[in-house]
Structure 1
Amino acid sequence: MADLLQSLTMAASGMEAQAMRLRHVSENIANADTPGYHRKTMSFQEAMDGGTVEAGPVRLDRSELVKIYDPGHPLADETGHYDGSNVDLVIEIADAREAQRSYEANLKMFDQARQMTQSLFELLRR
């Protein structure tokens, strides 16, 4: 019984971590055209209880910002350039799909463990 409850906990932690990842990906996509915006990245780490996963610290991608030439832009310098963002929409969409698939896999695992727990309770009632 404890193993079933532990698998529910593990699947729930995986769903929570992927939901956090999806939140950061959507923030990156929303700010793709924001001047000076640095892409947010995150990693996963094992939680202190062992067996579950949690979102690691959010880091800013320090890769070079794109220089955009627009002399009429209010942020343009004397050469007519300003800093764009370092968000690549292709990478963000790929990250979003990966997070979605991982979330769905954890959801299926959660549902399987829930069904097994429910079946066990039905057997114990007899």
Structure 2
Amino acid sequence: MRRFALLAAPALALLALPGAAFAHPKLVSASPAANTAVAKPTKLTLTFSENLVGPLSGIELVMTGMPGMANHAPMPIKGFKSEAKGKVLTVTLPRALPAGTYSLKWHAVAGDQHRIEGQYAFTVR
């Protein structure tokens, strides 16, 4: 019986921890949202389910298509600034995005230190 108590104690301790300790950040909303067409944005915002670790969270933005150019090669967008405050990751662009299609890949790290990634596409008209 004593051996059982020694083995069960760690398992019970894990069950007593709050569920948030095992959670990962999830993308709750974004602007522009996935699969939408928007006017030329100068700022992108991604809102997550948990507070982010700023230096470890960010995006990659690639223009994947341009109107009138069927064979447009993917073009990474550079020069933007990312800032994470609380649950919101804000990306400030140096100028409005030109018309075209874009792929946004995000990565987020919250208090559990696990990197979670995702991606979506949107169009600028």
Same fold (TM over 0.5): no
Q: Greater strand share, 1 or 2?
A: 2
The structure in which a higher percent of residues are helix is 1
Instruction: State the TM-score, normalizing by the size of structure 2.
Output: 0.28
